[in-house]
Structure 1
Amino acid sequence: MPIVNVDTFLGAKLDYLVIGGGTSGLVVAARLSEDPNVAVGVLEAGNDHADVPEITIPGMMARVIHNPEFDWTFYSELQKYANDRKVLQSRGKGIGGSSAINFLASVRPAKEELDVLERLGNPGWNWESLLKYMKKSEHLQIPNITPDQAVAYAVVPDPNLHGTNGPIAKSFPPHVTEMHSAVLDSLEKNGVPRNAENSGGNPVGGLLFPTSVDSSTATRSHSGSAYFAPNAQRPNFLVLTGAHAAKIILASGKAGLLRATGVEFIKDGKSYVANASKEIILSAGTFQSPQLLELSGIGDKDILNVHGIEPRIDLPGVGENLQDHSLAPAIIEVDKKVESLEVLFSPEGLAKHQELYKQQKGILAGIPSSLFAFFPAKAFAGTEDIQRWKSLSSISGSPPEIFEKTKPSVKRGIEKQYELLRGWVDDPAHPMALLLSLNGHFPIPGLTIDHSKRYMTSLLAYTHPFARGTVHIKSTSPLDAPAIQQNYLSNPVDLEVLTKILQFMDKVYATEPTKSLFVKRILPPKGVETDEALKEYVKSTLATVHHPVGTCAMLPREDGGVVDSNLLVYGTENLRVIDCSVIPLEISSNVQTLAYAVGEKGADIVKAVR
């Protein structure tokens, strides 16, 4: 049924209660509610943003970032290795969660990255399994371009690799500038090939990347619009917005396990308890799922005791193993014939693209970007660099302070991850860096943009963070933000990868045909070319790519795991975590496709035990 009031919600006899109406949470709720004999409730702290143009119009992406109505606007703790800065950690707030405010990229990880989930102790979690669920979540819309354009743009999708009937639309950016093919050509001359179909588990190369945009309407496709809205009339699908979960109610269960019976939540300043007879499903995301577990007495007993919370289950992995992609921007001024975002700042340019939008064309009809490229280490780094990175792939590669309070079981699991990373560093088929392009000038605090000029931004990121961070409660109040300690750049590999890829892009800009469109470099500023100067630049401009994972890791309990391969929280019989916090090792791509797959697979796991 449509979004309900609190009395209706509390009056329902729920079988399943999902905490979080975000990317994965709505997938689970929608799939479980396909059975008319069960009642599914969703608690969402934010509101419904179904008709907000800044969300629905793809070309207006990022307009709601920093806005607390749509974005939790979390900030990290001080980042010692990034010039003591606090770094924004945006998370979607409202129906659809982060899928409603993300940058729309629908790019898949490498096959090996998903196969290692099984190697790390999770039977049934591998490429073949998750490919099935990625396809189930989507329907592909083939781009309307010529064969020559398909080659030039690097987009030849294989229909066998994509879904045809799933809820989420997958299409390709309709606005492609001269810079797109020029950079792809220049990348090829520097050893990075085109990859016209990177969705098959082999991501290395440059491409026109798929996005979660419905090209038939030129609107964002997200879990709210695709999983909730079409099913909102189901009488057994109840959603309560403005409901901030505070605590999971736990009782004694069978065989010494605890049973989750309900959730305490706050709405309009009042506290309530909603109950469910079968399962409680936690889908609050990488930052708030561990926070809610700790508030409920599940976590490292030493951390819980500090806050006066009775430890119900001693689970040291809760909130540990945080990983994220981060980036440094490279911005160049380009030839004025390139139609970048800056054209929208003139009345004539804006009017033109508003008219084009009515035809599902132009800058506003798709993401204001088109080019991704995945780089193996050998493309941008030397043999000595690569060997050094392999040697730093261990806990000992970070300063002692990073892991001094980490429990032995968690360390054991992280060392197993580092062992895998060592094998990826020098693998020519595995990416170590990523280029995400923006057709325009990325906003930088303190830097004025001349909108009469044209720009291209290369957001350059590492794909596999060597740093590990934590997320833990700051207090016993569920309304307080958690302490997010990313430890960005604490392992030198992350800083060195960003430095080397910045240098590599200078070579690309100096290579034809990009060279003919290049006017001048804006960032890094002139004179910042040496390793040391670039390292300082990275520290001062570092930003997240908003792909946090790992804080409720799906690993064996002896390796610091929080959930098992059925997504059950250890020590409980019916409490599951179903979101990207369960992914134990960061993937090389955006996490959106995996978030949907985790939700789809998680729903099937729940259905199997009815």
Structure 2
Amino acid sequence: MSEFDYIVVGAGSAGCVLANRLSACGRHSVLLLEAGGSDLSFWIWMPIGYGKTFYRRSVNWMYQTEPVVSLDGRTSYWPRGKVLGGSSSINAMVYIRGQPEDFEDWKAMGNPGWGWDDVLPYFKRSETNDRGRDDWRGDAGPVHVASMDRDLHPLCQEFLAAGDALQYPRNPDFNGATQEGLGFYQNTAKGGMRMSTARAYLRPARGRASLSVETRAHATRLLFEGTRATGIEYRQNGRLQTARARREVIVSAGAINSPQLLQLSGIGPGALLRDRGVEVRHDLPGVGRNLQDHLAIDFLYRSKVPTLNDQLYPWYGKLWQGLRYVLTRRGPLSLGVNQAGGFLKSRPELARPNMQVFFSPVSYTKAPPGKRPLMNPDPFPGFLMGTQPTRPTSRGHLEIRSSDPLEPVAIHPNYLDTDHDLQEMLEAARLTRRIAAAPALAKLIETEILPGRQVQSDEEMIADIRARAGTVFHPVATCRMGPNPACDVVDARLKVHGLQGLRVADASIFPTVTSGNTNAPAIMVGEKAADMVLADAS
């Protein structure tokens, strides 16, 4: 049995951060376990390649939820990274921290040290913003955050002009003084290539004697002596291995796999574990509960003017843009698909934005989830707009199906379980139509393909939402941080309630989902967790 000071389970958005920071001083030995393999893949490093990796089992857990009653019994496809870098290696790369009020809410829920003034230094420490440093942004961190302005499609300017007509403010930086307004997204990228946490944090640390990285290492259960976590059991190359942690085990396997590992190890709702044939080590009801995710509705338009479809659909267009990318790291293949968008209030009386809008100058017909990659746009000019309510109130859960660590968990998203969430989805659809009807865009639209102009009444739009709304891939909160062991899983220092030597540090600890994309806050959690671990070791 090998021994280390710290064992980090999961080389994802938070796990790579922890591996780097904990091993940096050289005094502590760190083992990083990752169930997937290397991130050295063209489809991972090329930004637009995420459409391929979203459906590639070699780098993706490719989860499916249970049927969702409120979505007409449809299942929801949940890609999650199974590769160095985790979901930061396969996501759409949009860099959004959330609103300051999100973190003030976390603090108010009984989590001292997690307010906006507490977390802002970690956001700044983690990034190098290509626009430079200011009161809100950093310029010396591992994660490079890139502006896409020079390669944006001209249609993005028409989207902003539509917002101008509706008197929506323009916002040059959604991560600056305020989040509200429309503008251009920044991506986690550098030199036209994806900036995952594997590239940002792990690659610079791989040569350290203090860091060991094991890939294709699927954690199967945590090891204990009494109530203290002492190590990990994992399966690698068909063999069962164990490793011992002298100080701590830190679970950073993500919002799906972290609660799964805890439940497999006997930590979770006692009745559930007994029913699944797992011996209860610590009855902790909140493990796997409080699941939150963002749900969005997309509108698809046929355009009177050329869009990215015209560049990327023909074989010669693919060839030209491919050569352009290989030679210059420029062009549409160097960007994410969501080029413009922003954060708006669906009603003027609201205190802060409650909607996130995405504008994509490309359109495509999605394949059935998990069947084939989404690489080809439509053979006609088109574009997409999507809107998601940022702070849903519905809560789902996930649970192991059996004691088999290789069996995927049962995921119950429970979307649209509250009247509030259904009303906000309706407002999201109305907001999208409002922007499309503004003169700058209306003059470019030949027809609304989906849902189509025949859908007009509230009842018709709600039916369309139930038929088409989909996840934006932001699951969080399944090992929620909070002071109450009856419903929370970790305390404000990310220690699992009632146990020693065990922390959870990833998006699963979010008390509530943040207002926007979740990768940047997950990286922040890794940074803050590393400081906590090192402080407790001193």
TM (normalized to structure 1)?
0.84
| Distance change in 2, residues 1:271/1:446 (3 Å) | closer
Partner of 2:9: 19
Note if 1:290 corresponds to 2:280: no
Q: Over the residues paired in the alignment, what is the CA RMSD in angstroms?
A: 1.9
CA distance in structure 1 between the aligned counterparts of 2:177 and 2:360, rounded to whole angstroms: 24
- The equivalent of 1:311 in structure 2 is 280
Is 1:521 aligned to 2:490, yes or no? Answer: no
What's the offset of the Cα at 1:108?
Answer: 1.7
Tell me if structure 1 keeps the 8 A contact 2:105–2:115.
Answer: yes
Matches within 5 A, 1:184-223: 184-200=160-176, 202-214=178-190, 217-223=191-197
The CA deviation string for residues 241-295 of structure 1, in whole angstroms up to 9 with x for no partner, is: 111111101112xxxxx11001111112221211110100000111111111111
1:172 alignment partner, one of 136, 139, 147 = 147
Counterpart position of 2:46: 57
8 Å CA contact 1:109, 1:201 repeated in 2: no
- Kept in 2, the 8 Å contact 1:111–1:200? The answer is no
| Distance change in 2, residues 1:201/1:489 (3 Å) | farther
Aligned amino acid, residue 240 of structure 2: S
Match of 2:138 in 1: 163
Question: Which amino acid in the other structure matches residue 23 of structure 1?
Answer: S
Which string of whole-angstrom CA distances, capped at 9 and with x for unpartnered residues, describes residues 515-534 of structure 1? 22222111112411221111
Partner of 1:427: 350
Q: Deviations over 1:181-201 (max 9, x none)?
A: 211221232242211222136
How far apart, CA to CA, are the structure 2 residues paired with 1:552 and 1:345?
A: 43
Deviation at 1:559, TM superposition (A): 5.9
Paired residues of 2:99 and 2:515 also in contact (CA < 8 A)? yes
Q: 1:348 aligned to 316, 330, 337, which one?
A: 316
d(CA) in 2 for partners of 1:160, 1:354: 38
Which residue, 202, 208, 232 being the options, matches 1:234? 208
Counting matched residue pairs gives: 530
Structure 2 residue matching 1:513: 3-state secondary structure = helix
The reply to whether residue 369 of structure 1 matches residue 338 of structure 2 is: yes
Instruction: Give the match for residue 358 of structure 2.
Output: 436
Q: Is the 8 A contact 1:248 1:263 kept in 2?
A: yes
1:518-571 alpha-carbon deviations (Å, 9 max, x no partner): 221111124112211111111111211111111111101256110001100011
Alpha-carbon shift at residue 236 of structure 1 (Å): 1.3
Secondary structure of 1:609's aligned partner: helix
Show structure 1 runs of 5+ residues with no match: 1-9, 143-156, 253-257, 380-425
Which consecutive residues of structure 2, in runs of 5 or more, have no partner in the other structure?
Answer: none
Pair 451,553 (structure 1): closer, same or farther in 2 beyond 3 Å: closer
Distance across 2 between alignment mates of 1:526 and 1:79: 27
The two structures have a TM-score, normalised by structure 2, of 0.95
1:422 aligned residue: none
Distance 1:220 1:450, change over 3 A: closer
Cα distance in 1 between the residues matched to 2:289 and 2:497: 15
Contact 1:175–1:370 (8 Å) recurs in 2: no
**1:608 aligned counterpart, secondary structure:** helix
Give yes or no for the alignment of 1:300 onto 2:274: no
Give CA deviations for 1:365-397 in whole Å, capped at 9, x if unaligned: 221331122121315xxxxxxxxxxxxxxxxxx
Other structure's SS at 2:259 match: helix
- Supply the distance in 2 between the matched residues of 1:342 and 1:212 (Cα, whole angstroms): 26
SS of the counterpart of 1:247?
strand
Deviations 1:156-181 (A, max 9, x none): x7633211111111011242223212
**Aligned with 1:324: secondary structure?**
coil
Is 2:480–2:488's contact at 8 Å kept on the other side of the alignment?
A: yes
1:549 to 444, 459, 476: 476
Partner of 2:19: 29
CA 1:558–1:272: 2 relative to 1, 3 Å: closer
1:445 deviates by 4.1
CA distance in 1, matches of 2:139, 2:73: 47
2:498 alignment counterpart: 571
Could you tell me whether the CA contact under 8 Å between 1:158 and 1:197 is conserved in 2?
no
1:28–1:603 contact (8 Å) kept in structure 2: yes
Cα separation, 2, equivalents of 1:201 and 1:545? 25
**SS in structure 2 opposite 1:586?**
coil
> Residue 458 of structure 1 aligns to a residue in which SS?
strand
Counterpart CA distance in 2 for 1:245 and 1:342 is 46
Conserved in 2, the CA contact under 8 Å of 1:22 and 1:284?
yes
Which of 107, 111, 121 pairs up with 1:122?
Answer: 111
Distance 1:451 1:318, change over 3 A: closer
Segment drifting more, 268-277 vs 479-488: 268-277
Q: Does 1:85 align with 2:74?
A: yes
